[in-house]
């Protein structure tokens, strides 16, 4: 990776860019993932490269939803593996749930490389190498899923995911938590909870909230979910972009 000085004003963003590029070189991120990373960087600029109040609302609700779930599962694709493999492993450990590899540009070699990376980071259970089910409504390799993982889950976290898979999982009756920097995307609008934030900030904060509320009474967690309004939070996210841009001129 390029030697980036910590003093660089855009250090975190440049490191993230390098991680995705390194993921391509190592074979677990697709070249198309570079385009997705660039698009995400653009929206991160728009929110000021920080976790906003709207995102924090979504993170708290997501933590409560995961803690209430009977069968939660966490999805990992190539960009997620490049940017936040260790953080996703920490979240899975906090929840005691599996991670499942799911790819748009799927090859068994890429799936194996991501699964091995997650295990190297300490993952206790990684699914996706031997899918045995299919998500209805998806005519693509992303339909592949695993029983005991995403296919049977009642709550699924899908970071950096496309809208059609999000919509298909919701149609199965699942509650879907998305991490997506674009509050206008179909993923953000179709998800049950949409965290409009950079994955490198959002996942550690989500893990922190899971641990913080792991001993909370069930009634308190239910109230956190019940009081959450995803449409209102997305409107707040758009408003935060507008306010940030107005503050620049």
- Sorted by where each starts, the structural domains of the chain and their CATH numbers stand as 53-246 (3.40.50.12640)
At 1 the pLDDT is 54
Mean pLDDT for each 10-residue chunk of the chain (249 residues)?
70 76 80 75 90 97 98 94 95 97 88 95 96 89 90 96 90 97 94 96 98 97 98 95 89
49 contacts 12 by C-beta, under 8 angstroms: yes
Whole-prediction pTM: 0.92
- Checking 181-184 for CB contacts under 8 A at 24+ apart, the result is 181/40, 181/43, 181/44, 181/47, 182/39, 182/40, 182/43, 183/234, 183/237, 183/238, 183/241, 184/238
What span, in angstroms and rounded, lies between the C-alpha atoms of 41 and 224? 30
Within the chain, what is the greatest distance between any pair of CA atoms? Answer: 54
The shares of helix, strand and coil residues in the chain, as percent rounded to the nearest 5, are 55, 10, 35
Q: At what angle do helices 11-26 and 32-46 cross, to 10 degrees?
A: 170
Q: How far apart are the first and last CA of the chain?
A: 35
């Amino acid at each position: 990776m390029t030697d980036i000085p910590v003093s660089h004003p855009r250090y975190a963003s440049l490191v993230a860019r390098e991680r995705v590029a390194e993921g391509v070189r190592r074979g677990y991120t697709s070249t198309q993932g570079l385009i997705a990373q660039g698009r995400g960087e653009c929206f991160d600029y728009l929110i000021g490269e920080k976790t906003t109040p709207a995102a924090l609302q979504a993170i708290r609700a997501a933590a409560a939803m995961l803690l209430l779930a009977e069968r939660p599962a966490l999805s990992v694709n190539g960009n997620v593996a490049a940017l936040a493999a260790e953080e996703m492993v920490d979240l899975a450990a906090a929840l005691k749930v599996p991670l499942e590899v799911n790819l748009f540009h799927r090859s068994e070699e890429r799936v194996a490389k991501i699964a091995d990376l997650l295990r190297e980071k300490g993952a206790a259970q990684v699914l996706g190498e031997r899918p045995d089910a299919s998500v209805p409504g998806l005519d693509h390799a992303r339909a592949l899923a695993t029983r005991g993982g995403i296919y049977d889950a009642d709550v699924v976290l899908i970071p950096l995911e496309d809208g059609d898979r999000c919509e298909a999982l919701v149609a199965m009756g699942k509650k879907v938590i998305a991490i997506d920097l674009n509050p206008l995307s179909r993923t953000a609008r179709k998800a049950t909870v949409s965290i409009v934030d950079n994955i490198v900030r959002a996942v550690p904060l989500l893990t922190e909230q899971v641990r913080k509320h792991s001993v909370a009474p069930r009634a308190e967690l239910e109230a956190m979910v019940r009081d959450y309004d995803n449409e209102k939070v997305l409107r707040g996210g758009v408003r935060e972009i507008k306010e940030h841009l107005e503050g620049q001129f």
